[in-house]
Structure 1
Amino acid sequence: MKWWQGLWGASDIAIAPMQRSDAVEASDIHRVLFARPWTDGEIADLLGTANVFGFAAPEASARGGAMTGFVLLRTAADEAEILTIAVRPEWQGHGVGARLMAHVLAHAHRERLASVFLEVGETNAAAAALYRKLGFAVVGDRPEYYRGTSETRTRALVMRHDVTPVRKAR
């Protein structure tokens, strides 16, 4: 961690729509965090696909404007699915992921989406705790879904956040 991160934290991070030109930087972050990272070409292709978009969390431009994290989403009908979210290791625990997720939920509310889905590895306790704190609940699982760096596989928890209240039938 850089000394100044403790001083500024995530409050000095802006959230901005991702562009295809952000793919290289996003891929660099993804590569550090995932056993099967996405390439810059894959991320750029996703961002060029209808109904797929993302948000980036760049540092303040006074410090270079480097991306600290990002989230990619896909919408279908009245739902959104978080395809991936990644925060640089040195920025984890400083609220960047929470800021990105809060932005996603605010966007979902503005767009009148009914729900947001995501998957998280059962061993990723910090992320699962953040999602629960934000109102996500486990609605299913996918056994042996994620492949680790070895031959082991980990279960994915499928989580949902209901954005708009479900209307009861009369």
Structure 2
Amino acid sequence: MTADPDPAPIGPANAPVLAGIHAQAFAAPWASATFADLLDQSGVFALAAGRDGFILCRVVADEAEVLTLAVRPDARRSGLGLGLVRRAADHAAAAGAARLFLEVAEDNAPALKLYDRAGFRTVGRRRGYYPRPDGAAVDALILAFACPAHLPSA
């Protein structure tokens, strides 16, 4: 079954919920205060799909960046992540962004598959960007997506 979430914009008051989801999704989770600080910044927005996942982005001028995307492990492979990415691209386009960027570890096969399905393409690489517990480091791939044209309503 493919989920097509209707994510709702959320604000700094929801930072503890975001931190909780992030902690379930990542080995090095962000603190609640980090989310609150980011959501207080101009151009930053988050879209959540209940307590199952969210995407956090920043729009500056005509570019947007995915800061993080988190989906609880038991909610993965349901289409939730893809739905969040698509809604974030629409939201970024409405805010004036022509392209949406993100960084992803080159060894994160599930994320790379998701971003490929969403239409992202590799545009760069940051060597040794993600440190690993064993002391090794993994390159980050920089991906970009052309946001859909957002036409003004009549």
> Normalised by the size of structure 1, how large is the TM-score?
0.81
Question: 1:82-102 CA distances to partner (integer Å, 9 max, x unpaired)?
Answer: 000000000011111011001
May I ask how many residue pairs the two structures share in their alignment? 149
CA contact (8 A) 2:124 2:141 kept: yes
- What is the root-mean-square deviation of aligned Cα atoms in Å? 1.7
Say if 2:18 is the partner of 1:18: no
Q: Does 1:49 align with 2:49?
A: no
Partner letter of residue 138 of structure 2?
T
Q: Percent identity?
A: 39
The alpha carbon displacement at 1:164 in A equals: 5.6
CA contact (8 A) 1:113 1:164 kept: no
Matched residue of 1:35: which SS? coil
Distance 1:153 1:35, change over 3 A: farther
Counterparts of 1:84 and 1:133 in 2: how far apart (Å)? 18
Give the alignment partner of residue 73 of structure 2, picking from 89, 104, 107.
89
1:119-162, CA deviations, whole angstroms, 9 ceiling, x for partnerless residues? 11111111111111211100001111112233221111000011
Of 130-139 and 79-88, the range deviating more from structure 2? 130-139
Alignment of 1:120-139 (within 5 A): 120-139=104-123
* Structure 1: distance between partners of 2:46 and 2:104: 18
**Which entry has the higher C-alpha Rg, 1 or 2?**
1
Q: Unaligned 5+ residue runs, structure 1?
A: 1-5, 59-66, 166-170
Tell me the distance in 2 between the aligned counterparts of 1:48 and 1:111. Answer: 17
Is the CA contact 1:142–1:155 (under 8 Å) kept in the aligned structure 2? Answer: yes
**Aligned-partner SS, 1:123:** coil
Q: Distance in 2 between matches of 1:77 and 1:112?
A: 7
SS in 2 for 1:10: coil
Look up the equivalent residue of 1:33 and give its one-letter code: A
Please, what TM-score do these two structures have when normalized by structure 2? 0.89
Indicate whether 1:74 and 2:32 are aligned: no
